[in-house]
Structure 1
Amino acid sequence: MSFQNLPPLNALRYFEAAARKGSFTSAAEELHLTQSAVSQQIRNLETFIGAALFRRSTTTIELTDVGKAYFGVVSKALERIDIATALAKAAPGTKRIEQICLSASPSFVHLWLVKRLSKFHREVRSVQLSLNVTRHYVDFEAENVDMAIRHGNGEWPGLQAELLMKDRIVAVCSPRILQGRRQPRGLAEIGNHPIIEDRVHRYWTRYARFVGGDIDVRNAILYDDSGVIVEAAINEQGIAMARASLAASAISRGHLVELFEAKFSETLGYYVVFPAAHALRKNVARVSKWLKLEAARERG
């Protein structure tokens, strides 16, 4: 079967809970989501179907005739899937493996995480790690993501943040740029070197402001991806302000030289984040613990 009429399965869970509870708010509490997230998912389901499933007033919701018929089928189907899954999980020889979806930026995945995945799956046997590689901050209420790795100061409203590793911002360049030239040790010594600037975070500009200096970035080469900035520096495009965590491998291999550190934040780093309700989930905690241990091993 092609299942051409199959709707998003998460939306079915939200619809079933709201119809059973007779309330978007009660459904949201059961699912550990916000009322607006449940409401939006149900509206998406109604758009997919092309018919209203609920009659809404300011204080109540009520199933339409289409909604009543749909709920009768959906609730039984979800119940049968739940029972079948429980039986499958209890079958002799079945391994209890939970899939955990981890969201992270392309630069972090490419330069730090991906080379550690085989080790993760050797050491954390009962978890299948699924990666959501994206540059935007995922919406935990609307997207099927369990946890994420974010770079910042550790403050994201509504989310629990656990420090993975503090990060330094360092000036780096290819050693070939420095051939026959004195290695610059600060902003005043950058001189006529080409500059690679982060279009989003403006690390050169922030560093100049912090030390009370001045730098002309009008002709800087601009990128909006931290991993691309590291690659650009390796390829001799100029001197970059880069995240030390992402540049570490290239520095250790001699592809980059660290010139100096730009100290302007004590809280900057990578954090493992997830909704507070997910902290109770055993495998979310296990993934977070493994990531933090791996980062600690790297620090020595």
Structure 2
Amino acid sequence: MSASKSPAYLNALRAFEASARHGSFSGAAGELNVTAAAVGQLVRGLENWVGVPLFHRSASGRSRLVPTEAAVRALPDIKDGLDRLSLGLERLSEATMSGALTVAVSPAFAAKWLLPRIDRFHTRWPDTDVRLDTGLKLVDYAAHGIDIGVRYGAGRWDGYASEKLMDEEVFPVCSPRLRDTLGLNEPADLIRHTLIHDLSVDPGMGFASWEAWLRSAGVEAVAARPRLRINNSAAVLQAAAEGQGIALARSIMAQDDIAAGRLVRLFPEIAVPSLLAYYVVHRADRSLAPKAEPFRRWLHEEASGA
């Protein structure tokens, strides 16, 4: 066994440790974002290199991987080494990005809430560079070097500490011109017109759909109607502002458009609070970085209108 070849087996060591922890190549593959076949090949290559088997099948005949005695003895040291390696790489990344604050937010939240206000943060902390990491999918903060973020949901994410930033409600909105031409006298009138659906939030998470809002407004029978479906909350509001239909808006996203007169709220007497909210989020396994603390405070000040 040549020590000079060790770096070539770092991926194999990761595959081995993840396979042992999950009890399967497929479980490790999901964590490492590769195929199960690739994980199996890495583990077999590691077995050939060290000269001993690392797994055997369980006696029950199931496909769960069971580490050999040699593997069990080695796993704690391997896991500790990988953890220390990850920490070292993270510190190198922090040194490279020492002057930047990396913030993870959704594209719609960035466009409709954060970016219109970010100049106020820069005015107070001019020496802090802010780098936005935007995307609809939840990202791994450690892997992507994220210092802090804002997430929309129920407030519970494994491995992350969260604190509520803003509650919101949902309500129909449209352009002032469209409101004046549609003759909307009661909520049931909505179903005769084009309704814009926001596909960026899964109703299974608790987000109020059009059907849920209409039921809250006393409209039980929802007949077939034209629909426009968009997978970005900012684009949903833009389509409504351009008169393409009626959107079910999230109050935080729509507040600036309503204040500017680009959108109007329909049936304001009907209040439907969202089960979801906005949360400030950071990793639970470490303290919030000093450069992120002013940003956290500023987010709360902006949310409270201070």
Category of TM-score, reference length = shorter chain: 0.5 to 0.7
Checking the alignment, whether the CA contact within 8 Å between 1:97 and 1:126 is kept in structure 2 is no
Q: What's 1:238 paired with?
A: 245
Q: What's 1:121 paired with?
A: 122
Checking the alignment, whether the CA contact within 8 Å between 1:146 and 1:278 is kept in structure 2 is no
The 1:280–1:228 alpha-carbon spacing in structure 2 relative to 1, beyond 3 Å, is closer
The 1:139–1:178 alpha-carbon spacing in structure 2 relative to 1, beyond 3 Å, is same
Find the partner of 1:205 among 194, 211, 235. 211
Partner amino acid, structure 1, of 2:210: W
Q: Is 239-248 or 211-220 further displaced after alignment? A: 211-220
Instruction: Report how many residues are paired.
Output: 248
Find the partner of 2:235 among 228, 231, 235. 228
**Shift, 1:279, TM fit:** 3.6
1:50-65 map, 5 Å: 58=67, 59-60=71-72
Deviations 1:231-280 (A, max 9, x none): 01001011110112111121111111111356444543211112213444
**Shift, 1:60, TM fit:** 4.5
Checking the alignment, whether the CA contact within 8 Å between 2:187 and 2:267 is kept in structure 1 is no
Checking the alignment, whether the CA contact within 8 Å between 1:279 and 1:285 is kept in structure 2 is no
Gap regions ≥5 residues in structure 1: 1-11, 26-35, 90-95
Q: What's 2:62 paired with?
A: none
Q: Is 282-291 or 101-110 further displaced after alignment? A: 282-291
Find the partner of 1:293 among 290, 298, 301. 301
**Shift, 1:207, TM fit:** 1.2
Gap regions ≥5 residues in structure 2: 1-6, 19-27, 56-66
Which TM-score applies when normalising by structure 2?
Answer: 0.64
RMSD: 4.3
| Aligned mates of 2:259, 2:273 — CA distance in 1 | 24
The 1:212–1:176 alpha-carbon spacing in structure 2 relative to 1, beyond 3 Å, is closer
Q: What's 1:260 paired with?
A: 267
| Aligned mates of 1:158, 1:209 — CA distance in 2 | 36
Checking the alignment, whether the CA contact within 8 Å between 1:196 and 1:241 is kept in structure 2 is yes
Deviations 1:145-186 (A, max 9, x none): 2222111222323322212211121210011112355444x5
1:29-68 map, 5 Å: 40=32, 58=67, 59-60=71-72
Deviations 1:19-55 (A, max 9, x none): 9xxx969xxxxxxxxxx79x849x99xx99xx75989
Secondary structure (helix, strand or coil) at the match of 1:277 reads: coil
Q: What's 1:171 paired with?
A: 172
Secondary structure (helix, strand or coil) at the match of 2:116 reads: helix
Checking the alignment, whether the CA contact within 8 Å between 1:197 and 1:217 is kept in structure 2 is no
Checking the alignment, whether the CA contact within 8 Å between 1:97 and 1:127 is kept in structure 2 is no
Q: What's 1:275 paired with?
A: 283
Identity, % of aligned pairs?
27
Secondary structure (helix, strand or coil) at the match of 2:133 reads: strand
The 1:113–1:210 alpha-carbon spacing in structure 2 relative to 1, beyond 3 Å, is same
The 1:208–1:181 alpha-carbon spacing in structure 2 relative to 1, beyond 3 Å, is closer
| Aligned mates of 1:217, 1:137 — CA distance in 2 | 34
Partner amino acid, structure 1, of 2:301: L
**Shift, 1:218, TM fit:** 4.7
Q: What's 2:61 paired with?
A: none
